[in-house]
Amino acid sequence: MRYRRPDVSRQGAKDNLTLGNVKIIVYHARQCDPRKCSALKLKRHSLVRVVYRLQLLPKGAIVLNPFSEKAFSLADRERIEKRGLVALDYSWRCTEGAKLIPLIGESRSLPYLVAANPVNYGTPTKLSTVEALTAALYIVGYKEQAERLLSIFKWGPEFMRLNQKLLEAYAQAENSTEVVELQKRFMA
C-alpha cells in the first residue's frame, strides 16, 4: 500500500497562501513525475496551494487553461486579486482530459511564450505550471512575485531571458484583444 500525502486543503495553515495580493491555487491531476513537477516544488516552498479535487477551486477565480478562447491580460488583475489565480497541472500527454472538465471560474489562455523547462525547452506554448503562473503574474504587474516563483528553479532565469520582450509587450496590453494582436505579430 502506497503512502498518500494529505491534501493541502486540509492543512489550515496552508489555506491562505498568497504571493503579493494574489492567492495561487494549482489543481494537480497526478499525471506527472512528482520529482519533476514544478507545481509540487512550488508547494514544497509554500508558494502555492495544491488541490486534488476540482470542488476545492475558488469560485470566480481566473483559471489558466490552454484551451480557453479568451487570452489572459491586464484586465484580469482585479479578478485574480479578489478571487485568485488557478493553474491546471496536467501532463502534456493527457491534456485532452482538461477540455472535458467543467471549471469553476473564468478560463483564460496565455499568449504565445516559449518554454524554458528542461522537458520542453524551446517549444512554443508548452509551458510548465510554474512558467504559466510566472507569465500570468508578470502580465498583470506582479513582476517580483513572478521572479520569486522562478527563483527556485535552476532554469528559471532562462524563461525570463527567452520571453522578456514578449512578457513586457503583453503587460502593456490593456485587454485580451490587444494581447491577441500582439501575439499574432510575434508569431508572424
Write out pLDDT tens, residues 52-82. Answer: 988 888 889 999 988 888 999 999 999 999 9
Report the pLDDT averaged over residues 101-128: 88
Give pLDDT, residue 12.
Answer: 35
pLDDT at 90: 78
Examine the pLDDT at 86 and tell me if it is beyond 60: yes
- Pick the range with the lowest mean pLDDT from 24-28, 29-33, 92-96: 92-96
Is-contact 114 123, C-beta < 8 A?
A: yes
Cβ contact 61:86 at 8 Å: yes
pLDDT band (50, 70, 90) for residue 4: very low
Instruction: Evaluate whether residue 1 is within a structural domain.
Output: no
Instruction: Supply the pLDDT for residue 9.
Output: 37
Answer yes or no: is pLDDT of 165 > 70: yes
**For the chain, how big is the Rg over CA atoms in Å?**
15
If one counts every other C-beta atom within 10 angstroms of the C-beta of residue 48, the result is 31
| In-domain check, residue 73 | yes
The phi-psi region of residue 15 (left if phi > 0; otherwise alpha if psi is between -120 and 50; otherwise beta) is alpha
pLDDT at 6 > cutoff 70:
no
Question: What's the one-letter identity of residue 173?
Answer: A
| Residue 18 resides in a domain | yes
Task: Work out the mean pLDDT of the chain and round it to a whole number.
Answer: 84
pLDDT at residue 99 in the model: 54
Residue 95 in any domain: the answer is: yes
Type of residue numbered 112: Y
pLDDT, position 135: 98
The residue segments making up the domain with residue 83 are: 8-187
**pLDDT score of 154 more than 70:** yes
Is beta strand 18-19 parallel, antiparallel or unpaired with respect to 22-28?
A: antiparallel
Total domains, the chain: 1
Average of pLDDT values for 23-48? Answer: 87
- Please report the pLDDT score of residue 44 as a whole number: 93
